[in-house]
Amino acid sequence: MPFVGEHKKENAVVNTISKAIRAVASLSLAAAIAMPMAFASTSADAQTRSQGGRDKGVYTPTIWVDPDGCEHWVMDDGAEGYMTPHTTRQGIPVCRRGNVCGVMKSDQFFSTDSYRIHKAGKARLSEFFKKTGAVSYIITGHTDSRASDAYNMKLSYNRANAVAAIAVANGARIADVRGYGERLPVAANNSSHGMAKNRRVEIICIR
């Protein structure tokens, strides 16, 4: 028969173990509750950040025409979107016809080494874009072979971009803006006449 003192020791040990088990269980329960709450908070923060701009969760359907004239279905909510090529039932891309519908002689619209369009040139371009009525436009800039390739590439792009800005101001849609520098000449660069023909901005209409 055990002594009374031994019973007290055993009870003390049992009580200590029980308290430890309850403490561990409480910690586990608290952790289990905290984890989904933390995850939910993180998800909420992420959602808030993703919708902090123009993202309102409402997608607007539209059609985007790429530089080659091919259509793409677009769903856009202002901050992000989805796009897929528009194809026929046979899987053939639906593309529109594009052709050069306007050629601007740079000397008539720009000063030397400048991409600012003269006032009269702006009026002519505005009239052109109002009357042409294409679905969208591709604007390409070109130079003669003088100056460096890097300089000509930058100048031709800036001139094309200046024309595109006028198009947009008149409600036109721009599919692409490109600067080719001296790389696509239409005449030899060995005469002033040939160089003048190469200094141009071409407008491609997508219909």
Q: How confident is the model over 150-176, as pLDDT tens digits? A: 999 999 999 999 999 999 999 999 988
Is the pLDDT confidence value at 64 over 80? no
pLDDT at position 110, please?
Answer: 95
CATH number of 98-206: 3.30.1330.60
| Of 136, 119, 200, 129, nearest in space to 166 by CA | 129
pLDDT at position 118, please?
Answer: 94
| E strand intervals along 16-159 | 60-65, 71-76, 81-85, 98-105, 136-142
Contact 101, 203 (CB under 8 A): yes
Is the pLDDT confidence value at 40 over 80? no
DSSP 13-51: HHHHHHHHHHHHHHHHHHHHHHHHHHHHHHHHHHHHHHT
Q: What is the mean pLDDT of residues 131-149?
A: 94
pLDDT at position 22, please?
Answer: 57
Q: Which residue has the tokens 């792009």?
A: 157
Percent of the chain residues topping a pLDDT of 70: 69
Between residues 69 and 201, the one the model is more confident about: 201
Q: How confident is the model over 74-105, as pLDDT tens digits? A: 887 666 677 888 887 877 777 767 788 999 99
Distances (CA, A) of 7 to 16, 17, 18: 14, 15, 16
What are the boundaries of each domain within the chain?
1-50, 55-95, 98-206
Rounded Cα gap, residues 154 and 176, in angstroms:
16
Q: What is the mean pLDDT of residues 112-121?
A: 94
